[in-house]
Amino acid sequence: MAERFIQANGVELCAEEFGDPADPAVLLVMGLGASMLWWDEEFCRRVASGGRHVIRYDHRDTGRSAAWPPGRPGYTGADLVDDAAGVLDAFGVPAAHVAGVSAGGGLAQLLALGRPGRVLSLTLVSTSAAVPPGRRLPPPAEAFGRFLSTAEVDWSDADSVVEYQVGFARMLAGAERPFDEDAARALVRRDVARARDFAAARNHDALPDDDREWGALSAIAVPTVVLHGTADPMFPIGHGEALADVIPDAALVPLEGAGHGLERADWETVVAALLGVSGRRGPRPSSTARW
């Protein structure tokens, strides 16, 4: 189906749907600084083929959604949570199964806490606790800090941004699996070319604090599955373990050798987990999961 522009939470966002709108809805929430293209179209179709109505969308300041001047975001992280609810409103969906990757998983957790009636289940990939989990979490790997402190980028130059993003993706992939640079470069080039303003994506790194109180993750009362790479350099697997411990009855599915993000090699596992947790007869994750 074609992309469409919607009004969500008072702003124009770009979104796309797959599958039959009569099927249970799955809302896909990508991480900060990343458009909906990072939910690969083939992945979306695989989920839809399991009897789901799949919706993906561009956050503010990514893709074809509304953009603010670089360095001056006129919104907060809480607005991004409200945007997710606004996307559901625009598609006429009262409640959905919500899947999030990286910071998108954090937004999904906050949506479940702030608007519990809108979330039917959670699938959390490569993410961390959106509110303090009451324990110490392991720091990022040395490679993560080294990249952030040494990488250079000219946000006014598309080629420079592409090289930076590919380098970032290479680092996030971790050191245990081969990195498909050609595929990463093709995706990043599409993302940069499609954006209203590719420099605006850095606004997600400068979001002002807000004072909304979300409550404790132990209040989440929907079926939850946590999928986490054992070689994640941004959020070591201890982050996923903490999430699975603090969210009641959550299942943990370790992704052996995976880095940070949603890798093609893990699609089958992630799709199975999403279909399983969203309540149909899709296969459950592997026997390593705690159900």
Which residues are known to be catalytic?
Answer: 102, 232, 260
Mapped to the 3 state alphabet, what secondary structure does the chain carry? CCCEEEEECCEEEEEEEECCCCCCEEEEECCCCCCHHHCCHHHHHHHHHCCCEEEEECCCCCCCCCCCCCCCCCCCHHHHHHHHHHHHHHCCCCCEEEEEECHHHHHHHHHHHHCHHHEEEEEEECCCCCCCCCCCCCCCCHHHHHHHHHCCCCCCCHHHHHHHHHHHHHHHCCCCCCCCHHHHHHHHHHHHHHCCCHHHHHHHHHCCCCCCCCCCHHHCCCCEEEEEECCCCCCCCHHHHHHHHHCCCCEEEEECCCCCCCCHHHHHHHHHHHHHHCCCCCCCCCCCCCC
- For residues 10 and 3, the answer to whether their CB atoms sit within 8 Å is no
The C-alpha atoms of residue 157 and residue 198 are separated, in whole angstroms, by 9
Q: What are phi and psi of 248, to 5 degrees?
A: -55, 130
Q: How many CB atoms lie within 10 A of CB 224?
A: 25
